[in-house]
Amino acid sequence: MIYCFDLDKTLCSDTNGEYEKATPFTERIKKVNELYDNGHTIIIETARGSVTKKDWYPLTETQLEMWGVKYHTLRVGNKIYADVYIDDKGVNDKTFFKI
């Protein structure tokens, strides 16, 4: 299966745009890594920079490496900014991680 995970507020803390201050949600990352280890494809997608047009890719890649996140593809700034996303396959982070 292919899993796509949002980053901020899903795999790490919300920093209100101060991404350097983000802290990882280790239990959630552990679950993502288990999926990766079981042969699933992992995509990390974040809207970082979609409004400001700043390139957050290098910092984000470094953070994922420091936090030990296993993934196949990282997409930064590709998402359109919105407060609500509607998707036929969407799963709320709290439901997926059972919190």
Residues 32-70: tens digit of each pLDDT: 999 999 999 999 999 999 989 999 999 999 999 999 999
Under 8 Å between Cβ of 64 and 74: yes
The verdict on residue 17 lying in a domain is yes
The verdict on residue 19 lying in a domain is yes
Which band of pLDDT confidence, cut at 50, 70 and 90, is reported for residue 14?
very high
Q: Check residue 46 and give its pLDDT.
A: 94
The verdict on residue 78 lying in a domain is no
Structural domain harbouring 9: 1-50
Residue 10 has pLDDT above 90, yes or no: yes
Q: Check residue 89 and give its pLDDT.
A: 77
The verdict on residue 39 lying in a domain is yes
The verdict on residue 46 lying in a domain is yes
DSSP 65: H
For residue 38, which amino acid is it? N
Consecutive H or E run containing 94 = helix 93-96
pTM above 0.85, yes or no: yes
75-91 residue pLDDT tens? 999 887 777 776 777 88
Q: Check residue 71 and give its pLDDT.
A: 97
Based on the structure, what is the number of domains in the chain? 1
- DSSP letters of 7-46? -BTTTB---TT-GGG--B-HHHHHHHHHHHHTT-EEEEEE
